[in-house]
Structure 1
Amino acid sequence: MPAPEILPDTRDGHARAAALLRGGALVALPTETVYGLAADARSDTAVAAIYAAKGRPSFNPLIVHLPDLAAAEALASFPGPALALARAFWPGPLTLVLPLKPGHGLPPRVTAGLPTVAIRVPAHPAMQAVLRAFGGPVAAPSANPSGRISATTAAHVTAGLGDRIAAVLDAGPTSVGVESTILAPAEGGTRLLREGGLPREAIEPLTGPLLLDTTPGAAVEAPGQLSSHYAPRAPLHLGGQPQPGEITIGFGPTGGELTLSATGDLAEAAARLFATLHTADALAEARHAPAIRVAEIPETGLGRAINDRLRRAAAPRG
């Protein structure tokens, strides 16, 4: 299979991406969070190709991307504060896990057989343009091999997935840099399934205190809940004293060979997280370094999402 076609961020590029999706192909598309590996969410064959290309476990559900709230309401019910959350934060880096409506038209593989579906309305203009040109729901997990570092540039996508996909729409680096926050709203309260690009401080005025449900359990309800995820090839250590030969990633006054943000800005650190991990991993491989070590990040705001990714990246590999 040839290398993926690189599509420009133009009307012609958007139309080509939509045409490939209609033909059942896999296309990597930019969102404001990370690049997603997109397929027609109504096609079981196309969705199966996502799992095969990523090496993704079949019990790990996918996020369905839609252009607006009206399209989401055709697929799912909105219990509790779900509608208020959608109106406040869509389009944007928020995914809602919602009960499916009868006649939704999605194959069970999209939801991993669950009675719920994870839905997001992305804000990236290129993704919005492709969604509208395509005219249907698009399943799109992060465009990287399962368990490895997420892709925030087209180059990351091609390095990770190569000839396993048909095309990449190159719109430059993503702006948020960490995946969406995932919530499961219900009448009795809203559970936080994954920290992400929308911090708790912005959410809780609408929901009240979130019910924290971020540790993996027996059942996976949403993407990003596996204990080992986002991992570089080299071992990753968090905080502590750097050891000889390690690749160091700093934050704020804690310097390193690389840094997430020299000024200690959490938004900058989130935007740079995965790109910095890709760079550190390449350095570690070139130098045969024993590990990568990342400075401590404050557990507040976007720092929670950064630390969530780093803890999973540092977890023991299965």
Structure 2
Amino acid sequence: MKYGQILVTGSAGFIGFHLSKRLLEDYDVSVIGIDNMSNYYSPVLKEKRNEILMNYENYRFLRLDLSDWDKLIGSVDEDIDLIIHLGAQAGVRYSLENPWAYIQSNDLGTLNIFELARRRNIDKVIFASSSSVYGANKKIPFSEEDRVEKPVSLYAVTKRANELMAWTYHYLYGIKMLGVRFFTVYGEFGRPDMAYFKFAKKIMEGKPIEIYGGGKLKRDFTYVSDIVNGLIKAINADFGFEIVNLGNNRPVELNYFVSLLEEYLGREAKKIYVPKPKADVEITYADISKAKRLLNWEPRISIEDGLKRFCDWFLENLEWVKDL
């Protein structure tokens, strides 16, 4: 790896934590992590992730909000070789409740990161987008060549706006930009607001879980180590401006997903079937042919193996994860 100092935003977040840990353990690099440690979900989990990273001598942490330009430009005073921008306000449904948080964090925060790259002459930025940009598209699998003009949540709007901003900064200033559309990432130290984590907690507590759309909705669940491998491949890839899908390329029906959780947790779920929220889509399904071609990447972890790993971790840490 040719980069010596890498800035990772959202370093105490789910993907940011796993990526930073991998970089610190396996490569001769320094990582500067930025996170605002928001309370969108329990800060306890973010603090635990960050405590692990702080054990590495070549990790420096900055607690700040990316939307605060003055603090950002004043705090990042080192020479940065590469930015991996993963920090964002996550969650599709929460964007219906608090849309302002998404514009501030995802759009203003991303603008500030791109402007930081321009002013500090950083020639390469890898940034997180989302499968949510495909919105109400009917054609599957979702390809990067598809038009994405029908978002069904403000979260998706902000992620598409990030892609358009990235193109502008590439066109005007020559910054190499790679946007990565993640597909339903899951795994250890994951987000407690996501279905697999919420379901696991409620199953262990003997509480009912709500299953949308009769359990027929399908998601392209992608294990976090596969996502990290894709980002590492992106770091070493040569590109100008690109958008690429990182997904498992195998959509899984929600009913099957729940049956795996029941098997691995050793308990039967109490199920309540409810209508699909309007902001949710029927299926996500990644066409990964471009990732194979551009990054020489493809997923390795099946949903069966990945969920087993998550459930083993969940049960081993039940004493504190149950309170998240």
**Scaled by the length of structure 1, what TM-score is found?**
0.28
**Which protein is richer in helix relative to its size?**
2
**Scaled by the length of structure 2, what TM-score is found?**
0.27
> 1 or 2 for the larger relative contact order (CA 8 Å, sep ≥6)?
1
